[in-house]
Amino acid sequence: MAMNDPLGDMIARIHNAQMRNKSKVSIPASKLRVSVLDVLKTEGFIRDYAAVEHSNGSMASR
């Protein structure tokens, strides 16, 4: 499935998780998303994030 707006998708996932009181969100990782997550962390909108490498070689941000 092609994603046209990766940042919008990331923000929507974070927002939806927050609305459901979830403490973790899985998001496909990219350099752009990591840069935005850095800013969100610096500004206090998120506590932290971690890049996780899966056994099949793909990356995800948590």
Structure confidence at residue 36 (pLDDT): 95
Largest CA distance in the chain: 33
Give the E-state strand segments of the chain in sequence order. Answer: 27-28, 51-53, 59-61
Q: Which one has a higher pLDDT value, 34 or 62?
A: 34
CA angle 44, 9, 2 (to 5 degrees): 150
Q: Which domains does the chain have, with CATH numbers?
A: 28-62 (3.30.1370.30)
Structure confidence at residue 41 (pLDDT): 95
Digit-coded pLDDT (tens) for 6-60: 999 999 999 999 999 999 998 888 889 999 999 999 999 999 999 887 777 656 6
